[in-house]
């Protein structure tokens, strides 16, 4: 084995010591709240083929791959049948082909094996190497998993080897930040019985459990679904400055690596943050920025979207159940913590948790904006998600089957009928609100927002 990859393949020396010696698993066991991704249950079911795992940087892809390796070992897979390659250490597809060919030669005649190529997009023309290996028959009876942080780049590349992906029903997987429900169940601040009651009738949920869920929702709007921030708060009741810096640097670094200008990135991110939750057009943004063309703005936002940093919510064409291409869009960060990390990068502070994040969430207006964006991005993981712009507006319209479901998010203590004129036009409309006590208003059912998000459950894309 190439000695550069030895630190990530310590299972070959000692299966029993893998969790203690591996750099990722060693850090995992030190966390107050270690997490096992539900994606691992799906990975158990795959057979030989070519697979992809995508998700934003620092989201835990490498840790999931290492957990998968540990579970393969525990289920009886021979340690020499598993090989992990770090893409950052591989220059081009020629080197990739050589490394995989040498490894497969060792396996020849010994049954299936597992090849894990992490952060494959660091490797120049990696897809050419994979296609060559597949066409040459080198990958027969093997599971090849490639991972990367740029979902668009991987999607475009994997289209170049159709018919070579294997027979499994799902071949492309995606990791998102933890959902609100995943976080609540991980933190266990709400007793198990209380968590079970959250899935039953609202009348059966105790006031104490309701209060705990609201408190957990407030925490979630601070750390989002990012495990490092979650564990910071579990351990110190605050998010460390280094954690903010890590995620801010991720966005900046990946954009610069793709040839983008830092001053343009600052302007675009500032525009997204200051216009949070409002409708924008690329033309209007370009007029307010030094960027001289709306297509440049659109290009920066598209790249941020491919990195899982932002989500662009289009208006819905109700008759076609598709995006309205000429209407304004709403741009929001894909997770609450990304908003906070970006704000910390744009306005540096030695204690961003207390001096940036805290005051923002103490502002009821901003709390409502972050809560609404959280609802949008949770639903976006499960269904195509839009907003409605007609005579009035509706915050969310998600499409399921041949029907759309409108939802209005209201984070005010008082719900007034005059603010609900548009949502009232739809028989299947719902309101997600702050209050637990209101059952309906103007005939529209009202659900507590925190409860609604908890009931959405876990979302594993694939």
pLDDT confidence bin for 379, thresholds 50/70/90: very high
Question: What CATH number has the domain spanning 3-174?
Answer: 3.40.50.300
Lowest mean pLDDT among 48-52, 105-109, 203-207, 313-317: 105-109
Which band of pLDDT confidence, cut at 50, 70 and 90, is reported for residue 456? very high
- On the question of pLDDT at 213 being above 90, the answer is yes
What would the two tokens of residue 32 be?
């107050």
pLDDT of residue 114: 95
The pLDDT of residue 91 is above 90: yes
Please report the pLDDT score of residue 111 as a whole number.
Answer: 67
Flag whether pLDDT at 36 surpasses 90.
yes
Backbone angles phi, psi at 313, to 5 degrees: -100, 110
Q: Are strands 322-323 and 316-317 parallel, antiparallel or unpaired?
A: antiparallel
Domain boundaries, the chain: 3-174, 180-456
DSSP-assigned states of every residue in 130-160:
HHHHHHTTTTTTEEEEEEES-HHHHHHHHTT
Contact 281, 329 (CB under 8 A): yes
pLDDT band at 459 (very low <50, low <70, confident <90, very high): low
Most confident range, picked from 50-64, 221-235, 289-303? 221-235
pLDDT digits (tens, 9 = 90+) for 401-419: 999 999 999 998 777 777 7
Contacts of 271 (CB under 8 A, 6+ apart): 280, 285, 288, 289
Q: How confident is the model at residue 422 (pLDDT cuts 50, 70, 90)?
A: very high
How many Cβ atoms from other residues are within 10 Å of residue 157's Cβ?
21
0.85 exceeded by pTM: yes
pLDDT in tens, 43-81: 988 989 999 999 888 899 999 999 999 999 999 999 999
Residues 6+ apart with CB under 8 A from 241: 344, 350, 351, 352, 353
Q: Is 377 left (phi over 0), alpha (psi -120 to 50) or beta?
A: alpha
Q: What is the mean pLDDT of residues 218-230?
A: 97
Q: What is the pLDDT of residues 360-371, one digit of tens each?
A: 999 999 999 999
Q: What is the pLDDT of residue 162?
A: 64
What tokens appear for 54 in the block? Answer: 């995508």
**pLDDT above 90 for 457:** no
What's the whole-number mean pLDDT along residues 116-132?
Answer: 93
pLDDT band at 292 (very low <50, low <70, confident <90, very high): confident
Does pLDDT of 144 surpass 90? yes
Collapse the DSSP code of 57 into the 3-class scheme (helix H, G, I; strand E, B; otherwise coil) and give the result.
coil
Mean per-residue pLDDT of the chain: 92
The predicted structure's pLDDT at residue 1 = 75
Residue 459 half-sphere exposure toward CB, CA atoms < 13 A? 20
Task: Flag whether pLDDT at 195 surpasses 60.
Answer: yes
The confidence score (pLDDT) of residue 151 equals 74
Task: Using a pLDDT cut of 70, give the percent of the chain over it.
Answer: 97
């Amino acid at each position: 084995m190439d000695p550069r990859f030895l630190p990530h393949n310590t299972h070959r020396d000692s299966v029993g010591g893998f969790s203690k010696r591996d750099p990722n698993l060693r850090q995992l066991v030190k966390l107050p709240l270690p997490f096992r991704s539900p994606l691992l249950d799906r990975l158990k079911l795959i057979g030989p083929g070519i697979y992809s795992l995508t998700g934003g940087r620092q989201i835990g892809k490498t840790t999931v791959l290492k957990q998968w390796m540990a579970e393969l070992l525990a289920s009886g897979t021979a340690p020499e049948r598993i090989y992990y390659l770090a893409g950052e250490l591989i220059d081009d597809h020629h080197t990739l082909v050589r490394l995989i060919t040498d490894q497969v030669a060792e396996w020849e005649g010994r049954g299936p094996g597992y090849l894990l190529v992490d952060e494959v997009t660091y490797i120049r023309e990696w897809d050419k190497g994979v296609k060559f290996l597949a066409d040459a028959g080198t990958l027969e009876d093997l599971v090849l998993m490639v991972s990367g942080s740029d979902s668009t780049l991987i999607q475009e590349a994997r289209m170049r080897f159709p018919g070579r992906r294997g027979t499994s029903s799902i071949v492309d997987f995606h990791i998102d930040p933890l959902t609100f429900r995943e976080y609540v169940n991980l933190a266990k601040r709400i007793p198990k019985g209380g968590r079970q009651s959250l899935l039953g009738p609202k009348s059966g949920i105790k006031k104490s459990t309701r209060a705990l869920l609201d408190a957990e929702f407030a925490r979630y709007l601070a750390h989002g679904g990012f495990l490092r921030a979650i564990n910071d708060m579990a351990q110190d009741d605050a998010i460390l400055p280094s954690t903010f810096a890590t995620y801010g640097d991720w966005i900046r670094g990946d954009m610069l690596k793709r040839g983008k200008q830092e001053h343009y990135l600052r302007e675009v991110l500032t525009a997204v943050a200051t216009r949070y939750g409002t409708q924008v057009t690329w033309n209007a943004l370009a007029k307010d920025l030094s960027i001289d063309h709306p297509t440049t703005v659109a290009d920066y936002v598209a790249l941020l979207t491919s990195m899982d940093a932002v989500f662009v919510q289009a208006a819905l064409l109700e008759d076609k159940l598709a995006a309205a291409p000429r209407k304004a869009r709403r741009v929001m960060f894909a997770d609450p913590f990304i908003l906070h990390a970006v704000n910390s990068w744009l306005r540096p502070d030695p204690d961003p948790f207390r001096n940036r994040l805290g005051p923002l969430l103490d502002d009821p207006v901003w709390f409502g904006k972050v809560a609404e964006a959280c609802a949008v991005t949770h639903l976006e993981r499960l269904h195509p998600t839009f907003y409605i712009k007609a005579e009035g507006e509706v915050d969310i319209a998600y499409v399921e089957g041949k029907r759309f479901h409108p939802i209005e998010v209201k984070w005010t203590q008082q719900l007034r009928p005059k603010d609900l004129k548009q949502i009232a036009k739809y028989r299947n409309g719902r309101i997600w609100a702050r209050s637990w006590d209101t059952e309906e208003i103007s005939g529209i059912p009202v659900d507590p927002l925190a409860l609604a998000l908890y009931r959405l459950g876990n979302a594993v894309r694939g």
